[in-house]
Structure 1
């Protein structure tokens, strides 16, 4: 009996020692990478140090996981030794989903040798993921990586440690990563935090792991279904979809395709509940695929392989050709009279100089034959529900002023005497202002009543060298108009000009209609609410745009969970916009605004104070030193712990009241956006009571704040709309917990109450906002990497991708704004937001200079008797939006997706995009889009319209 007890005691002692065993994983290699300018193409694999500096400089460290293999991980920590002073607080760690080469470079920022930020191996040009990808695409929860973060712990002799999750150790053990990526959370000091590398013997990084029980069980053989995935095919590639049944004891999958390993960045980890669905893209079209799927346990034990054979989908079929886009035929220029008046038709958007009747930016072919004018006739075409336009250029051919010029439109008739009435024809006298180069140019469109006289030169404008006046003409084609040919014209009269000059018009109406609901939203952002605000909203609405002003805010009474919203003033301002009542007399009658800001921000509905936000450091005001913001980064508690319960209760109470109030009113067609658009520097620059940069987040603390507010919003929404709950909570807030797969918003009501983020660095987003961000406005959306990253975000998280930037500069062709919208839509965005669109009345003289940044697209004009005027670029946005509606309709009729439609457009015209050299990611005005000739836009529209009409028959 004593022997049995002794044996039992020995077993218990052995189990206890196994459970408490701590092992060390030594570092075997590392790389120091930089995402800064020319440093992106450098290597430092054998350098004795590496630098951690926010999102600018980082490292990857390879470890020997053998001591932890086959054992449960109870705790783990990474140990680093500083090689100088530091300002580290939060340290981020993740797996690396591509194999990398250390190289032999010993100097900092040395020649490319081994891995660089841009390549996993410079010698073989092997990318980190897809061609053009970067290190950021395979770390920190991007590329199916696992990530965590923690506050560093200070140790003796310059050492520090950071807690790791067991998952990261299991990934090392299973070969599910090539080492660990390490980053600094960062702050506004941008300190150079130097860390000893593997080359610093005795100071090299290491991991300590506390081990538990043995993990020796093998997972079961996976149950796999494979099928073609035509919905994920591309023009030159097929795709397939793997569905792997839920199984226990599986940490990761290893997949081989035709005998070659599928790269880890393509392979999801097992879902906590239900099957795991993995899509493999970029395959040879219809390729036969022999697949093997192996399940690997946390202890590194592999299952028997499941084998399946399937053919990849075919590539997307080529879209119908648009045909060759040809310029107008050249004709002999007519001889102008030496006195009197000369009248001709010019394309829309083109800026005709008032001092010389020529296009200012080479976007028009000529005055005698152009996109709309075949002398003597203006030729237009369009769909029902579309506004088509052109300009009348009236030249003063004499030495004396041309007096009492009048334009009389005639209604348009078809052969059956059906008409498009004169009230559908609107005239606007172009008002001239100076652009950024000091050139006088047409800028603002002033309503011109039928028959209202004007002089050339314009005595109100006082341009001594004015030779001509352009008048913008908008013709709205009613939804009920019969398709076919219409004819009409304009009479242009002036004192001393006999007979009046007639400008004939021919209009072709195609047999399809543009929808009142916008398929793509040009969203005009503004940071104030102008006087006569509804007039501004209406003018944007008439141009198929949406004005979104920051911010309409109701009055509040009470505090905490007892806070109450007083709706009277808010309903007067907002009600007509979200009901559509404000637009009852507009072309898209009664269609409400598509989007509107909600008033939530850092200090609303509850102001930030030391009582509501437990940060007891110094609260700087306007003009104080940036060091106080840095101190906040270094010392403030995590936002979710520091905000008081009263603060959170008030947030949720006001949110619920908004949802209930809108439901009671029947206001259910406008996306109401909870948008946290703060920057912590506004505290010292402008005296604004905010602590976090939730607009264009940069440092980790910024992302945590945006994540917190969006999670609070979605949790509150789920409580108010319980039937629509369960999208996930974002990743990275704490050691990773299993989350349900996110999916697109299920139903109109939930989609109405959207969490919005403006992200200038989606490359650093990963899954941080997964399941808690509904719509995302992307900065820098104009290169293939941005397009692919955003497509991945949309596919993985269900977020709706939009873009922000500007309009064309006032020194550029207006057709560039058409190109801008077309490019955004073709590459996956569903809206474009120019960041600042309101100017003051000074814009009548100095165009965009009066916007204070951005573009003065909408301005007051009391001196001209107008509450609001539109810049010509608003018509460019309208024309771009209408062209997108053409393409959407074409896609529906021919079953084409955006990739196919994009190829059609690019096959017909050159779409050029770029960025101002040296501009930062937060510079919303840095995007550049090459203009198209006016005839190219017209020919593209007509080719698409003809294809749509052909499908009718």
Structure 2
């Protein structure tokens, strides 16, 4: 319903005249105001079982950060043909004292929805909930999508936020709504309005006591409440009866797109009726029927003559199908322009060529094992894990596996290996029994350039109580003879009957392809067993520059630059150690000295230059290859002291002095200039904000006013954007060829909207899934820059080591640039008690690897095979990933110990034999392609360009001046 607004006085109108920095200058809007009733509303939840529940019949609506949202609508028909200049949403708070609405985001909605009549999260067939636009019938967008795919920048939607007036004596509040958001409803490119609590969690600090209020429940009354129902006041200024100009051309790109897809571009036509071109109505004719393109795929209009793009996907078109595409522009008053019509052909897609099945099979199972000095000798995969007491295996294997598998024939006393050049290949030797004197040798006498290595396992205690046991994980270089039970490491197992060793050989670049003969000799007591090793060297070489980076993340206050041994160990394993040099107070333990105008670089350069110019690795397999990624020591509290410039606010653009912003920008600029002048162009330098406001509860010196790492609330994403804009402005003009990356670690990608689009160079995604990958892929196709890696945790020691390999393969197939276990440095205690995060074990002789680190190495090398395959057959990654998904089970289950856990992706349906077969089939095909060696085969320089366009988001463009709600804080500085 719409009636003329008579201008009756109420408290919310009076409060809208208050002063505040955001808005006000263009208030009130031009024209006359009308009152619009809310004709349908509901609230939905993203939490657990509530995702399928509806609240369309409830008398209250809830707003609760990223957890609960409200959807409302008006009847737009009486406003058609009018020019909207401004709007206010009036609503009555049901929690005006405890939790009023502070800042409200209002978005267009790119999907139809059903209000329903449910309450208390009850499921209702056909009604809208978080997971479905119509419960159990239609998703909001593509299959598996959610509400967040069709609001707040996703699904080609637009949004803005504004501060709400404080509740009046009756609880009424008002909030500005952007005129474009209203106009989108008139034009038919939106189906309602999504409402979002932008502040979310709140905090206070008074008299030294810090409190964090996690997602307060903010209730407002719904239309079912009668006189307390929300309503809109909308200003209109004249009429617009002139439709937009015609679209004159389109461009269609089908190169490298999957079958049935295309990217269509056209120019936004001008509008001369007083409003502006708002969007488009698009349909297509196929098989004689006209059908609408889903709204979430259709772009909103750009500025006049600006190019817009539509990615045709999710529609079941045939490969190479020709359709008749019809595009009609529509303006802000709802006037529809003439149809542009053209036949276009969609992508034929690109199919993988047939990759031959393996022409060799695993050796036959055999329970009869060779024996030397009372020790039964078996060989298994690097990824197998054997209990030192019971001999049980993780993952469990078939009977006779130890004597006959894909690597080993006990009958023939033969180990069979395959490797590319510049690859390290492993096997695991298991000795069952007891012996006081055992020695092992592993040699390729005809290939002195091969330098095989042998590591023996140490064991750590796993489990608790009655489930306590021991399992292998640390790997100690073999030095002389040993005994069983083993004396290696800090744990002694008196009843040990199984001891394992990892044998490996690196194949140098210059080795000629073909079969190489080696020998493994086991001596126990006075008996000796010789086992032949057949190593086939493939006719291709892995690149020195990693195409995919398993990034070994590290925290700690002890600088790792002193002897570089951790970096060298990571480098040897085709991974990259990345050590964050600051803690929760933001102060780095090692950094160049800051004079206020420039840095004193000498000492810092001396320590870090070997990592960045590659000289630290001059004697290693990938000779002279610099580290792939490198944390800069920059933070919110260094080199500029945040406590001298921060005024408590939930919004970064309000919180800081201009001096803080200028000093930060100067420091960023100096780092970019220096790294570029040094020619350090192979390493991605990362400015990364890691700290969290709620750390102040137990660590008062914590310097972060927001949740930077794994941002949760809009205020957190907005703060990351604010710092990123400073970085972009300071660094992009001067960085040259140096990769200066602004990084964010984001678990809740679906709630980040488009806030960081064009800001971050790379995002590390936690708990990745199809929805998050789809969001990043849409950004890549439509906007260009969208690099991401996945972060989580390595598998627990009592779980299968297949996880590390499969995580690499799965992440690569989804488009990731790498994986990152969030912590990798073990402690002294980790030699005795199992630590999931101990991939490097400290020792007096320098760090030693875990077998899980070697599993990451195996995973990285497997990804190089796949990347080389993509290059060899000249097909994009998605084509190889499609073949991969049909070849091996990529199904994963993310295991979390608690809600804040980074999570561990487990792959329980894959065996070492299947991975061996995948590797063999790929390797044999590549070996026949005669590929020339390339030091690097992938493009990693995804740095933001100065020309990268930013979305028009943020504050409502026409709004009254309203004071923003701020934390209650008498002193943010620590004592």
- The answer to whether the superposition gives a TM-score over 0.5 is yes
What's 2:711 paired with? Answer: 697
Contact 2:299/2:308, CA 8 A, preserved across alignment: yes
> Per-residue deviation at 1:467?
2.3
Q: Write the distance in 1 (CA, Å) between the matches of 2:890 and 2:457.
A: 28
What's 1:779 paired with? Answer: 766
Q: Write the distance in 1 (CA, Å) between the matches of 2:581 and 2:103.
A: 34
SS in 1 for 2:715: helix
Q: Is 1:655 matched with 2:637?
A: no
How many residue pairs end up in the alignment? 859
Contact 1:555/1:566, CA 8 A, preserved across alignment: no
Q: Write the distance in 2 (CA, Å) between the matches of 1:378 and 1:507.
A: 8
Counterpart selection for 2:906 from 914, 919, 928: 928
Q: Write the distance in 2 (CA, Å) between the matches of 1:298 and 1:117.
A: 29
What's 1:43 paired with? Answer: 54
Q: Write the distance in 2 (CA, Å) between the matches of 1:557 and 1:444.
A: 38
Q: Write the distance in 1 (CA, Å) between the matches of 2:654 and 2:30.
A: 33
What's 1:162 paired with? Answer: 175
What's 2:229 paired with? Answer: 204
What's 1:264 paired with? Answer: 295
Q: Write the distance in 2 (CA, Å) between the matches of 1:555 and 1:941.
A: 43
> Per-residue deviation at 1:900?
2.3
> Per-residue deviation at 1:479?
0.6
Q: Is 1:766 matched with 2:753?
A: yes
Moved more, 71-80 or 706-715: 71-80
User: What whole-Å deviation, never above 9, does each CA across 1:252-297 have from its counterpart, x for those lacking one?
Assistant: 1111112222121101122336322212113332222111111111
SS in 2 for 1:873: helix
User: What whole-Å deviation, never above 9, does each CA across 1:777-814 have from its counterpart, x for those lacking one?
Assistant: 10111x32233223223334412011000111111111
What's 2:68 paired with? Answer: 57
What's 1:607 paired with? Answer: 641
Contact 1:363/1:813, CA 8 A, preserved across alignment: no
What's 1:905 paired with? Answer: 884
> Per-residue deviation at 1:770?
1.2
- Structure 1 residues 261 and 420, CA gap change in structure 2 (3 angstroms): farther
Contact 1:817/1:929, CA 8 A, preserved across alignment: no
1:453-472 alignment, distance < 5 Å:
453-460=481-488, 461-472=491-502
Contact 1:815/1:931, CA 8 A, preserved across alignment: no
Q: Is 1:484 matched with 2:519?
A: no
> Per-residue deviation at 1:366?
1.6
User: What whole-Å deviation, never above 9, does each CA across 1:149-192 have from its counterpart, x for those lacking one?
Assistant: 11111253211111111111110110111111011121134222
Q: Is 1:392 matched with 2:429?
A: yes
What's 1:869 paired with? Answer: 848
> Per-residue deviation at 1:698?
0.8
Q: Is 1:582 matched with 2:616?
A: yes
What's 2:963 paired with? Answer: none
- Structure 1 residues 904 and 106, CA gap change in structure 2 (3 angstroms): closer
User: What whole-Å deviation, never above 9, does each CA across 1:117-146 have from its counterpart, x for those lacking one?
Assistant: 1111126x1110001111111011111100
Contact 2:52/2:121, CA 8 A, preserved across alignment: no
- CA RMSD in angstroms comes to 2.3
Counterpart selection for 1:227 from 252, 256, 262: 252
> Per-residue deviation at 1:843?
1.2
Q: Write the distance in 2 (CA, Å) between the matches of 1:292 and 1:367.
A: 64
1:112-261 alignment, distance < 5 Å:
112-122=125-135, 125-156=137-168, 157-185=170-198, 186-187=200-201, 188-227=213-252, 229-233=254-258, 237-249=259-271, 250-258=277-285, 259-261=290-292
Contact 2:591/2:633, CA 8 A, preserved across alignment: no
SS in 2 for 1:199: helix
Q: Write the distance in 2 (CA, Å) between the matches of 1:325 and 1:764.
A: 48
Q: Write the distance in 2 (CA, Å) between the matches of 1:79 and 1:150.
A: 13
What's 1:69 paired with? Answer: 80
Contact 2:440/2:523, CA 8 A, preserved across alignment: yes
Contact 1:420/1:481, CA 8 A, preserved across alignment: no
What's 2:625 paired with? Answer: 591
1:664-703 alignment, distance < 5 Å:
664-687=677-700, 688-703=702-717
User: What whole-Å deviation, never above 9, does each CA across 1:476-514 have from its counterpart, x for those lacking one?
Assistant: 0111110111112022224332xx221211000110010
Q: Is 1:383 matched with 2:420?
A: yes
Contact 1:293/1:306, CA 8 A, preserved across alignment: yes
Q: Write the distance in 1 (CA, Å) between the matches of 2:266 and 2:378.
A: 67
Unaligned runs of 5+ in 1: 1-16, 414-418, 616-635, 725-747, 849-853
User: What whole-Å deviation, never above 9, does each CA across 1:566-597 have from its counterpart, x for those lacking one?
Assistant: 22332232111111111111111110110011
Q: Write the distance in 2 (CA, Å) between the matches of 1:459 and 1:839.
A: 20
- Structure 1 residues 917 and 394, CA gap change in structure 2 (3 angstroms): closer
Moved more, 318-327 or 815-824: 318-327
Q: Is 1:406 matched with 2:439?
A: yes
Contact 1:24/1:67, CA 8 A, preserved across alignment: no
User: What whole-Å deviation, never above 9, does each CA across 1:32-75 have from its counterpart, x for those lacking one?
Assistant: 11111111111222222211111111111111223433233322
Counterpart selection for 1:32 from 40, 43, 64: 43
Q: Is 1:716 matched with 2:738?
A: no
Q: Write the distance in 2 (CA, Å) between the matches of 1:757 and 1:173.
A: 37
1:283-322 alignment, distance < 5 Å:
283-321=317-355
Contact 2:896/2:903, CA 8 A, preserved across alignment: no
Contact 1:45/1:102, CA 8 A, preserved across alignment: yes
Q: Is 1:88 matched with 2:101?
A: yes
Moved more, 922-931 or 36-45: 922-931
When normalised by structure 1's length, the TM-score is: 0.86
Judging by fraction of residues, say which structure has more helix: 1
SS in 2 for 1:463: coil
Contact 1:140/1:147, CA 8 A, preserved across alignment: yes
What's 1:792 paired with? Answer: 778
What's 2:918 paired with? Answer: 940
> Per-residue deviation at 1:649?
1.9
> Per-residue deviation at 1:919?
4.9
User: What whole-Å deviation, never above 9, does each CA across 1:684-724 have from its counterpart, x for those lacking one?
Assistant: 22231221101111112111111111111111113435xx8
- Structure 1 residues 475 and 339, CA gap change in structure 2 (3 angstroms): closer
SS in 2 for 1:861: coil
Contact 1:92/1:183, CA 8 A, preserved across alignment: yes
Counterpart selection for 2:805 from 782, 800, 818: 818
Kindly report structure 1 stretches of 4+ aligned residues shifted beyond 6 Å. 324-327
- Structure 1 residues 555 and 389, CA gap change in structure 2 (3 angstroms): closer
User: What whole-Å deviation, never above 9, does each CA across 1:852-875 have from its counterpart, x for those lacking one?
Assistant: xx510012122xxx2101110001
Q: Is 1:509 matched with 2:541?
A: no
Contact 2:83/2:239, CA 8 A, preserved across alignment: yes
SS in 1 for 2:886: helix
SS in 1 for 2:834: helix
User: What whole-Å deviation, never above 9, does each CA across 1:439-498 have from its counterpart, x for those lacking one?
Assistant: 22221111124xx2222222455321222432211100111110111112022224332x
What's 2:306 paired with? Answer: 274
Q: Write the distance in 2 (CA, Å) between the matches of 1:837 and 1:346.
A: 26
Contact 1:488/1:506, CA 8 A, preserved across alignment: yes
Contact 1:816/1:929, CA 8 A, preserved across alignment: yes
Contact 2:358/2:917, CA 8 A, preserved across alignment: no
Contact 2:515/2:534, CA 8 A, preserved across alignment: yes
What's 1:627 paired with? Answer: none
User: What whole-Å deviation, never above 9, does each CA across 1:511-540 have from its counterpart, x for those lacking one?
Assistant: 001001011100011112455551001001
User: What whole-Å deviation, never above 9, does each CA across 1:387-426 have from its counterpart, x for those lacking one?
Assistant: 00112223445xxx422x222232253xxxxx2534x211
User: What whole-Å deviation, never above 9, does each CA across 1:585-639 have from its counterpart, x for those lacking one?
Assistant: 1111110110011112121111222x41123xxxxxxxxxxxxxxxxxxxx2631
What's 1:621 paired with? Answer: none
Contact 1:87/1:191, CA 8 A, preserved across alignment: no
What's 1:890 paired with? Answer: 869
When normalised by structure 2's length, the TM-score is: 0.84
Q: Write the distance in 1 (CA, Å) between the matches of 2:339 and 2:371.
A: 87
Contact 1:224/1:308, CA 8 A, preserved across alignment: no
Unaligned runs of 5+ in 2: 1-27, 202-212, 272-276, 583-587, 932-975
